[in-house]
Chain A
Amino acid sequence: MSKQSQRVERDLTMSRGMVEAIAHEMRENDEVFYMGEDVADYGGIFDSTQGLLDEFGYDRIMDVPISETAYLGAAVGAAQEGMRPIAELMFVDFFGVAMDQIYNQMAKNTYMSGGNVSVPMVLTAAVGGTYNDAAQHSQTLYGTFAHVPGIKVVVPSTAYDAKGLMHNAIRDDDPVLYMFHKRLMGIGWMPAPDGPKTPVPEEDYTIPFGSADVKREGEDVTIVTLGLHVHRALEAAEQLADDGVDAEVVDLRSLVPLDTDTIVGSVEKTGRLVVVDEDYRSFGVTGEIVATVADESLAALDAVERVAVPDVPIPYARPLEQEVIPDVDDIAAAVERTQ
């Protein structure tokens, strides 16, 4: 697509934003291909490849056997040959069956080769709960992957970000784990909040990793979050505004690399920090962000709150799931505790 193409701005769902970037990169580069379960005829269970089969055929939009070790490892191998595979893990919860290929091969080969080998692949995976699918299909697991050196970890929250981050991910020479929240994709059977559907330019553009986005400016408190919870935080911020609390919402967009400057800058302005995460609380994103701010600017911290899943597997029944996954009220209450 040429740079001169008209800047028609259409509202797209997050999945359309992702798919548009993938299609663009596949047109530009024959070495880009997509592998996964139910990605061809089905178009991805969460619409992550919707429509791609028609244009690119089965050779480049590849359905694979249910063998995550084999096909995620094959993506590593193809990437080491210089191709640019995108491999989809249908639910991030299934990583366990293929973890060696992810955290020992994909993540570490560059380092162990002294930088002589690169693994330019994208691993996409659906994350998140809110639809009562229980403990093996509802995890978010941001922290698990961000903890392992060698993996860049990206989490879009809007269609605009999804497209720009995907362009960047495919062009990146390192392995990128691109984690999309099911609830944001805009699929018919899992209604999304209004926020993720945004105007998206037709031409390609990149959003550099490590650039957090201030989705709402505010003076009184900084809410740092990502994925679905950006939208919950924005809703909480609107509620809080009625009570005279002006919250700033920082959308991390990538965990690795982490945009420390934006986070610290915001906390230095507001003095109060609330970190919201849909992953387990202990040893995770909330602890990491608080520690980062403490390292960089301890004096700026007047109050800190963490809102995350309280270290229990995600339960099935609705009242139980609602109890553990942070909602708008949980975020608002945490903010109030900092005031």
Chain B
Amino acid sequence: MYADMVTARHYEERLQEEYLEGKQPAFDISAGPIPGELHLAAGHEASGAGVCQHLRDDDTVTAPHRPHHVAIAKGVDLKRMTAEIFGREIGLGKGKGGHMHLFDPEVKFACSGIIAEGCPPAAGAAMAAKKRNTDSVAVAFLGEGAIDQGAFLESLNLAAVHDLPVVFVIEDNDWAISMPKERVTDVQDGSQRAKGFDMPGVRVDSDDAVAVYEAAGEAIGRARDRNGPSVLELQVHRRMGHFMGDPETYRSDEDQDAAQARDSIERLAETLRGHGVDDATIDSLREAAHDRVEEAIEWAKEQPQPEPEAAHEDVWVNPPSGVTDTEPEYDLAGGDD
């Protein structure tokens, strides 16, 4: 868990640096090696790591627009994910998806930039598992700002009536872009919504990765044992702006300071020390994570850009006649993991 968390944190720090390259002094979103929006998840690490610890490659995860920490914890190929974010031909989506749309079918990971829209497909993956009588499960991650969306509430109901092996994980970072939680809901505890659908809803009120791990273990175990769906709400925090370049003028300094003070990674390191893990071990985990991140980023940056003509491929798996073939002409081998 600690390794996943420090990998995610360092990954985001490095992406931030890369992203800002070419965008200085005046921030231009379309300039630099990583264009487009970039949503970093610093402060969310305990959620991805604590939940995904319980998952296998054959369990499905859907993530929202802030996906990197979950992808890393789920075991998405880090090199090809990075290549995707840099828009390279060998990226997970051949440079077509970018950071909000990462797909790694090897470990059944997908994400979408449309709020709450990962919930119905997660229910569908759970439906497939149930029909095929396997013991795999599905987990949908979404933000606390997303739980007012119909797709979430409709999925809860569908999952409940069909007893689907799915867990809905709400990452509560108190903010939905500029909207503080209290301005968009009167119910502070989002996990309570589960009650309306007659399923368990649990909230972990701290950035404590161990508590997340335990609560997630119960929820996922319940799904795996075919005892039905549940909701797990995790308090995380947002250390940065909503997206890179967000001036955060709507947010008070105190709120930002409070977020910085609640560091789940430091907290887990303390816990580890308390259990007799020495600093050398913790440092070596962190250093190994940093090396892995550096390697992925350096590798990704060396990869070629896609040929412009490739834009016309992959609209279909089975293109109607007269439409360009989708067969890649290049060798996709070369990722890690």
Set of chain A residues within 8 Å of B177, measured between Cβ atoms? 37-38, 42, 45
Complex interface residues of chain A between 47 and 96 (CB less than 8 A to chain B): 63-67, 69-70, 93-94, 96
Interface string of A203-245 (1 = CB under 8 A from B): 0000000000000000000000000000000000000000000
Complex interface residues of chain B between 82 and 109 (CB less than 8 A to chain A): 84, 87-88, 91, 93, 95-98, 100-101
Set of chain A residues within 8 Å of B250, measured between Cβ atoms? 41-42
Instruction: Kindly provide the distance from the CB of B313 to the nearest chain A CB, expressed in whole angstroms.
Output: 9
**Which residue of A38, A41, A320 is within 8 Å of B310 (Cβ)?**
A320
Cα distance, A94 to B249, chains bound together (Å): 25
Interface string of B208-236 (1 = CB under 8 A from A): 00000000000000000000000000000
Whether A320 contacts B308 by the Cβ 8 Å rule is: yes
Whether B87 contacts A317 by the Cβ 8 Å rule is: yes
Among listed B28-36, B125-133, B254-262, interface-contacting one: B28-36
Instruction: Kindly provide the distance from the CB of B222 to the nearest chain A CB, expressed in whole angstroms.
Output: 28
Cα distance, A284 to B20, chains bound together (Å): 37
Query: Size band of the A side of the interface?
Result: 35 or more
Complex interface residues of chain B between 23 and 79 (CB less than 8 A to chain A): 26-30, 35-37
Set of chain B residues within 8 Å of A188, measured between Cβ atoms? 26-27
Whether B36 contacts A65 by the Cβ 8 Å rule is: no
Known A66-B145, A320-B95; contact A312-B315, beta-carbon cutoff 8 A: yes
In the assembled complex, B115 has its CB within 8 A of some CB on chain A: yes
Whether B184 contacts A132 by the Cβ 8 Å rule is: no
Known A316-B95, A316-B98; contact A189-B114, beta-carbon cutoff 8 A: no
In the assembled complex, B269 has its CB within 8 A of some CB on chain A: no
Whether B148 contacts A66 by the Cβ 8 Å rule is: yes
In the assembled complex, A23 has its CB within 8 A of some CB on chain B: no
Known A136-B113, A189-B27; contact A97-B179, beta-carbon cutoff 8 A: no
Set of chain B residues within 8 Å of A65, measured between Cβ atoms? 145, 148, 179, 184-185
Whether A134 contacts B101 by the Cβ 8 Å rule is: yes
Complex interface residues of chain B between 290 and 337 (CB less than 8 A to chain A): 305-312, 315
In the assembled complex, B112 has its CB within 8 A of some CB on chain A: yes
Which residue of chain A is the closest to B150 with respect to CB atoms? Answer: A69
**Which residue of A38, A67, A131 is within 8 Å of B30 (Cβ)?**
A131
**Which residue of B179, B306, B309 is within 8 Å of A38 (Cβ)?**
B179
Whether A41 contacts B98 by the Cβ 8 Å rule is: no
Whether A315 contacts B29 by the Cβ 8 Å rule is: no
Whether B36 contacts A131 by the Cβ 8 Å rule is: yes
Q: Is the interface of A mostly helix, strand, loop or mixed?
A: loop
Number of residues from B at the complex interface, CB < 8 A: 50
Known A312-B311, A318-B305, A324-B311; contact A136-B148, beta-carbon cutoff 8 A: no
Interface string of B240-272 (1 = CB under 8 A from A): 000001000110000000000000000000000
Set of chain A residues within 8 Å of B275, measured between Cβ atoms? none
Which residue of chain A is the closest to B250 with respect to CB atoms? Answer: A41
Known A131-B30, A191-B28, A315-B95; contact A37-B308, beta-carbon cutoff 8 A: no
In the assembled complex, B178 has its CB within 8 A of some CB on chain A: yes
Cα distance, A262 to B114, chains bound together (Å): 39
Cα distance, A45 to B178, chains bound together (Å): 10
In the assembled complex, B171 has its CB within 8 A of some CB on chain A: no
In the assembled complex, B117 has its CB within 8 A of some CB on chain A: yes
In the assembled complex, A302 has its CB within 8 A of some CB on chain B: no
**Which residue of B97, B114, B249 is within 8 Å of A96 (Cβ)?**
B114
The interface of chain A, by Cβ under 8 A from chain B, is 37-38, 40-42, 45, 63-67, 69-70, 93-94, 96-97, 130-137, 188-191, 310-313, 315-324
The interface of chain B, by Cβ under 8 A from chain A, is 26-30, 35-37, 84, 87-88, 91, 93, 95-98, 100-101, 112-117, 145-146, 148-151, 176-179, 183-185, 245, 249-250, 305-312, 315
Ordered by A's residue number, 18 sampled pairs between the chains whose C-beta atoms are within 8 Å are: A41-B178, A41-B179, A42-B250, A66-B146, A96-B114, A97-B149, A132-B35, A132-B98, A189-B27, A316-B84, A316-B87, A317-B87, A317-B305, A318-B35, A318-B87, A319-B305, A320-B311, A324-B311
